[in-house]
């Protein structure tokens, strides 16, 4: 079955976005000349699975940031919510996480980039995340969308590597055991 992989940044106090899904705190970080591994990670995946909040945030960017196929998990969005220029790049799904991964596997996907707080949480609860790269941004924003929510049981992680950067960002990669 397709495996889920996470590559996210969060504030030091554990938020991936503001309550309104705003990323202004992340965008103002000066990381010029630093390679945080994003390009290599994107090369390693077949496509992305986003939540509707993350998708709507991406729509506010000047240009669509992804070349790979994107599946938006949502039970409330309709195909008319996808802009015409993205219809060949973005599909909607209301499948449960395990069903979606099985479907992606049938389509030939081996590795899926799972992105968005609630989506990550649901995939983690289902045991569908194989590894995660988490970059801690040296800022406290006080409130917002959490990366990790409540769990039914502990999830053990094995640190594969950790690296700090001159900007103050710290990136750690974990295997979910």
What predicted TM-score, i.e. pTM, was given to this entire model?
A: 0.90
Other residues' Cβ atoms within 10 Å of the Cβ of residue 117: 22
Lowest mean pLDDT among 21-35, 37-51, 115-129, 146-160: 21-35
Q: Is 29 exposed, middle or buried (0-12, 13-18, 19+ CB in 10 A)?
A: middle
pLDDT digits (tens, 9 = 90+) for 42-97: 999 999 999 998 899 889 889 999 999 999 999 999 999 999 999 999 999 999 99
- Where residue 15 falls among pLDDT bands split at 50, 70, 90? very high
- Where residue 132 falls among pLDDT bands split at 50, 70, 90? very high
- Where residue 102 falls among pLDDT bands split at 50, 70, 90? very high
| Average pLDDT along the chain | 93
At 155 the pLDDT is: 92
Cα angle for residues 90, 34, 157 (degrees, 5° grid): 70
C-alpha 1/C-alpha 101 separation (Å) is 6
For the cut 80, the answer to whether the pLDDT of residue 30 exceeds it is no
At 54 the pLDDT is: 87
Domains located in the chain, CATH noted: 3-176 (3.40.430.10)
Mean pLDDT of 155-163: 96
């Amino acid at each position: 079955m397709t495996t889920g992989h996470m590559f996210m940044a969060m504030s030091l106090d554990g938020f991936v976005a503001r309550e309104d899904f705003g990323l202004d705190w992340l965008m103002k970080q000066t990381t010029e000349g630093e390679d945080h591994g994003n390009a290599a990670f994107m090369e390693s995946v077949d496509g992305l699975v986003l939540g509707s909040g993350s998708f709507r945030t991406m729509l506010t960017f000047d240009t669509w940031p992804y070349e790979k196929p994107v599946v938006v998990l949502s039970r409330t969005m309709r195909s008319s919510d996808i802009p015409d220029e993205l219809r060949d790049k973005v599909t909607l799904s209301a499948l449960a996480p395990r069903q979606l991964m099985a479907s992606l596997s049938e389509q030939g996907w081996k590795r899926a980039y799972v992105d968005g707080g609630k989506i990550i949480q649901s995939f983690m609860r289902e045991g569908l995340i194989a590894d995660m790269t988490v970059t801690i941004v040296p800022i406290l924003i006080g409130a917002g969308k959490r990366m990790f929510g409540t769990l039914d049981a502990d999830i053990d992680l094995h640190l594969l590597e950790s690296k700090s950067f001159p900007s103050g960002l710290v990136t750690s990669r974990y295997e979910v055991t």
